[in-house]
Structure 1
């Protein structure tokens, strides 16, 4: 029972452990635009933000900084929000980082402006519609555009889209380009043997698969190439040539190595000589007795056949494309009794078809390289593995390797990166007191001192200290808070910004300057002759204002956008 309780407690503890959300982690965050760059991958938010220079993108799609809270720069003033008359313009800034920035509500400023777009042009005329994206066979799209001809400060005059699209239909039928039918079988050879000319055979194809259209504009294209092919019948035998006797020779001695030798007058069967199985000459070749012992007949080659087609239509790096031709020892065949000599030489020949174009070689990936070392010493980083498209390299119009040549994986150092310190805003100035004994010097013409402080915030994990190392600021002063001082009326101070900066009831104010007369005070204090500051709001007496003049003015800010 105790063991079961312990297991239940362990389960409760494991369930209670909070895990941060999985986010897309980026190695760079740009403070001026609030954008992330150089994505590393998906990790826990806590792991990503071990480096304050990083940014991350959560499920809402917004990019956030992993650093301490800091304000972005103020944006430029927007154009006036009305074309004519009184309006306002605004500028904004954003707080990026983990936590809230100081003065968190000070992110929008508004001031009045006057719209001067009295003769604004707005949109220019629409351009003509473009041609339809299809020229035949159904529905396509076409578009037209317009440009905003207004001055950049008057662009609000151009509302609506700058581009329009609409469907368009082409009723023309698309041309059908011709395609060849398969080749027919080879015809029979035009002769049964080779005579003065070599017989041929043919095969045909028709431009009918499909036939080119003639009822479209433009017409369909005819099939490229020839509609017939002719091939020599080089493999058939030569036509027989019958022999015919020549003239008798003068009688001569008989000298034979076979049969009987005679003193003979001979004639030759050479007008023409029988060939390719043709009949020998009729009658005796000698006018005396004939030696009847048969002589051996040596073999002799027939003519070479035509070259075959190449074994491939292009040159492959792995297998050669070759063609061959043959001949036979049949012109005549060697006799068997007595045995004639066989033909000398090759029965067949082959050669490489080196004149063919190279076959396209599609690219193939080589192996992945080992992952690089982790690129960071703190936080999370990326390890990279690459592969090259070199097994083989794409050549001769072959396709490049599909897919990526680079892959990454996230590495965890489990070490938080240093977080550098950032100065806080200065505190308000302290009361102005005597620099000797710390006593109050209000309304006395005695120089004093006052200080203000700031803190070096957010420093952690051995980050650097804030630049400057100055935690205190000091100045010399006179304390005139609530003191009666004569003065004289001056001009107006500058108008304030619109308060509140959005929504209803926004207005701005200004007051007339009552310039105090500090002529009884020394402008410098101390041995260092530091320039004095008059601290506090004195009770000024500038006398009555001229008739009709006011001490303060306020006016509404009109056309202020609602708060979002």
Structure 2
């Protein structure tokens, strides 16, 4: 019975052999062959003889159950007496075929009679592979956790691992077996280790309160910050999430000069030409939240006279009222976003440029030559962004597609992309597709129209287009009739007949020879009919009186269908 998991917890406990019992007759001496017996019992491993309690024999490994009886021998007075057998010698570590192990015994008393001889003193038996011969190897366990000294929670410690000797059966044996097998113990079984001590987060002091974000209004705030000097480790106190604090600033009214919109362009004493437009300046007060509380007018002294002098320069502006038929420019467009000069998505400058333009309006095309050109203006700006530009393409349609330049923010522009890298808008096949029933495919190679199959040359180009078998509309095979039966399609011979005799154009797109032959025969036949008609219908030399002319019959159609 094989041993299960429970067998590893129990073992056989063996008691000493009994004395040798000889079965003899009363008149004969008690000598010769007899029997010895002993008791065995199944006990739990690790218990002493006094603590061992018998359990069921089925809990122990039945295959390793020791024998309970054996043959013994008691020498008669005249027989040779030998000592018990010694232990078996060890088998070689490398179990070669034919190796043996031995045991021996020596003579204690020589036989008294010359007819008596001593039994064999040496026995041998072959070494059996996987029974008496094993291979061995070391097995080392994983490192244990770092063990610290008593009452210590961090610092220097040590960690251990175990070394076992395993035989070829997978069982753990004494370490001496591996040493006898010639193996060298090269594993380190202990080493020092360190357990990190818990470190709490260390923060710097709060910085001074910064200036208010706005000098006036109800939205102004001041902030202060602190930074992490040391991160937390192990079980130390973690760093807080709040590294910035804000507080509202005192609410102050905001005074500012407010410019009105430009007035219409006024020309003095004329209907068109150069003129002047103006706008008004007023002092207002607000609290930083215009949608909720719009600015209110106040005395001019509260906004400051110095700022007013700077704004006074922008109170008037020249303008132009175009006369009928004249060319003129539109109003300036809004300033564009701030752009930086970029190279491969990176900029090496901090000041950008923004631009605006005025477009020309031509009222009379005859005056186009005298019209001004579109006007551009640029100015420096701060906080520019570096954009990249990339060509975009649409889908192919009839071997054409749309191509445009797109900025990295998704805006389509008319400049910025390199013209040398512009994708093609028209797709061409090389060489051109001139074969009958061929066309340029989306992949840029010549292909055949629907219903035709490509026949390629050895160089991978289209040679000609041949009709695909089974595509002909006249070939309706497997069509069910009214009775539910399958109507047979045309036979293969009929297909060949239709393919080669009834079609004027061959698979390669060329006209077949029989077409030329039929044409020539038809032409000769027409000539023959014309000549024969001329000979038959030729008028004779006899003059006949022609009948009087008759009036032509004229039919009138009134639109009815009953004619």
TM band (smaller chain)? under 0.3
Q: Which has the higher helix share?
A: 2
Greater relative contact order structure (CA < 8 Å, 6+ sep): 1
Bigger-Rg structure (1/2): 2
TM-score by length of 2: 0.20
